[in-house]
Structure 1
């Protein structure tokens, strides 16, 4: 699991660097899909990770609605990533089988294993990487390579 998170973090960092050359208007421009903009989608991925990990750890979820700049998104990622990494470094079979219960709107419960939540987080970020890649091509720029086979993580 940790390897896949490290892969996603590496790709996310590459997207941050890719974004440094974009005008602010392109970062925040309303787009179809994702969370509506490049910046909001990058923040959404990091925020979703911290929400789920903090819930699994029983620690305080950071209630942050959004960010206003790329630097703020990078700072937020740099602040939350060590928490996730520490959680994953202590990962074992017992942790994998623990569960988190969430309420549905109708009052019944969803019960998710920690392993399933982590798999969801991995897939969630990869999904949004695909959206960012489409948006990159729409503005005439080459997207970040997300080719796992050629990355060292």
Structure 2
């Protein structure tokens, strides 16, 4: 039977495949529309800002909380276009590799939310970041629809 890290790494490959479909789609979006902020959507309301927010969530939960690294969060404005977003996620992929190697030993990850100390494990945190990504990926596609584009299917099963 496969180990949890092996299954999780395989699942992350599916997430990355879906993410790359989204990136290819975003390459068809004008530069102005990519950074256009829509107040109807949270987390900065632009496709760019949502992608940075997704990466920041990986930086927080995986790199900083789980692996105890001290990675600085990227600001929205540092990502000028989809190429910058892709580079940002390449950095995410690097520390994700470290996470998968250490996943079995990350059984009591301590963190704090709203002043309350809590404990989790690597699988729950991994599940959180990938479902969070898919939630916001849907918002990226919805923003593009509001701007007159025709979103593509970025589901894992397509």
Q: Smaller-chain TM-score range?
A: 0.7 to 0.9
**2:71 aligned partner:** 61
**1:101 aligned partner:** 110
- Give structure 1 stretches of 5+ with no counterpart: none
Whether the 8 Å CA contact 1:11–1:144 is kept in 2: the answer is: no
CA RMSD, 1 decimal: 2.0
Once the 2 structures are TM-superposed, how far is the Cα of residue 127 of structure 1 from its aligned partner?
0.5
**1:148 aligned partner:** 156
Structure-to-structure mapping, 1:41-120, within 5 angstroms = 41-54=50-63, 55-66=65-76, 67-70=78-81, 71-92=83-104, 94-95=105-106, 98-105=107-114, 107-120=115-128
1:130 maps to which of 134, 138, 141: 138
Q: Runs of 4 or more off by more than 6 Å in structure 1?
A: none
**2:24 aligned partner:** 17
Once the 2 structures are TM-superposed, how far is the Cα of residue 64 of structure 1 from its aligned partner?
2.3
Instruction: Report the TM-score, using the length of structure 1 for normalisation.
Output: 0.82
Take 1:149 and 1:16, find their aligned partners in 2: how far apart are those partners? 17
Q: CA offsets per residue over residues 81-104 of structure 1, 9 Å max, x none? A: 121023224533x43xx1222234
Whether the 8 Å CA contact 2:34–2:48 is kept in 1: the answer is: yes
- Give structure 2 stretches of 5+ with no counterpart: 1-7
Change over 3 Å in CA distance of 1:68–1:104 after alignment to 2: closer
